Structures are given as structure tokens and as C-alpha cells.
Amino acid sequence: MKKLEDYIISIPDFPEPGIIFRDVTGILNEAEGIRLSIDTLQGFLKDVDFNIIAGAESRGFIFGMPLAYNMNKPFALIRKKGKLPRETVSASYELEYGSAEIEMHKDSIKPGDKVVLVDDLLATGGTMEAAAKLVEELGGEVVKIIFVIELAGLKGREKLSKYNVDSAIIYEGN
């Protein structure tokens, strides 16, 4: 049986020279890769007390929804600005290559909720830091943040140091 990292496709010089792009979609191309990724992420939650999972658009949806289904938990969407139809809260953050803004419906997290945040990639940590701020603004508590891949060289874990963070695959470089 393959290891999870065997499903990652490394693409040199994308999106710019010197960058190695770690393509998580290789996991999604094979049923074993999907199962292994979800089982690994679910293992990180074995002893975590939580009542809701929230995922960042769009790959956080892909990996978060099967977890919510398997663990019989609701799922909250964290989307790019302007994509949610009801009243929202928003947060801006810096990306590796620019800036962005994310939103959540105001009623997606209730005061006292214990929230697990899910995304495919931890790079600089900006997206998840903003997502955690939204959860906290709504009265929730972030009890765990999980990723499929972490690019340790970009030091995103440092930005999330006050949270319990796990990553299935950690690449030491950028």
C-alpha cells in the first residue's frame, strides 16, 4: 500500500521559478488516496472534543466534508468574499502571493462551539489564522486545525502557534 505522500505530485517551477508546487489532487485521483487522506485526518481527531468542522474553500470542503459525515458532525463553510448569501463576518489576510478576504455566515458558529478547522495546505498560515479569528469572533473555540500538507519552510505553524495543529505530510522546504 502506498503512503499518503506517494499521491502528491511535485511540480517544479510552478507558479514561478524555484517553487515546487505540491499538488494534492493526486490524492483525489485514486480511491486509496482519498481513503488514506481521510483516515489520516480523522486519526488526528480521535481524542479531540469538538462539535463542528469548518473547512476553507475549496479544498477544505473536499477533505472536511467526509470527516463531518464520518464523525456525524455539522460542517461550516469558510468562503471567499462575496460567495455567501446571508449575513456574514469577514477577515482579510496575506497570502504567499497577495492578499484575500474570507467570510462565514454569522449563524454557522454558535457561542461555545468547539471547532475543528480543515484545509489541504498549510503554507504561510494566513488563511487559517483568518478562519480562526472568524470562529472566535462568532464565539467559537478552535480546538484543532488539520492539514493534508504543510510547507514547513514558510513557517505557517508559527503563525498558528496558539492552536493545536497537525499535518499529514510535512515538507521541510517551501
Report, as residue numbers or ranges, the catalytic residues.
59, 96
Question: Which DSSP symbol is given to 154?
Answer: G
Q: Which three-class secondary structure state does DSSP give residue 26?
A: helix
Q: Please name the residue ranges forming H helices in the chain.
A: 25-28, 31-44, 59-71, 126-137, 156-159
CA-based torsion, 97, 145, 158, 173: positive or negative: negative
Rounded CA separation 147/64 (Å): 10
Do the beta carbons of residue 84 and residue 105 sit within 8 Å? yes
Q: Is 148 left (phi over 0), alpha (psi -120 to 50) or beta?
A: alpha
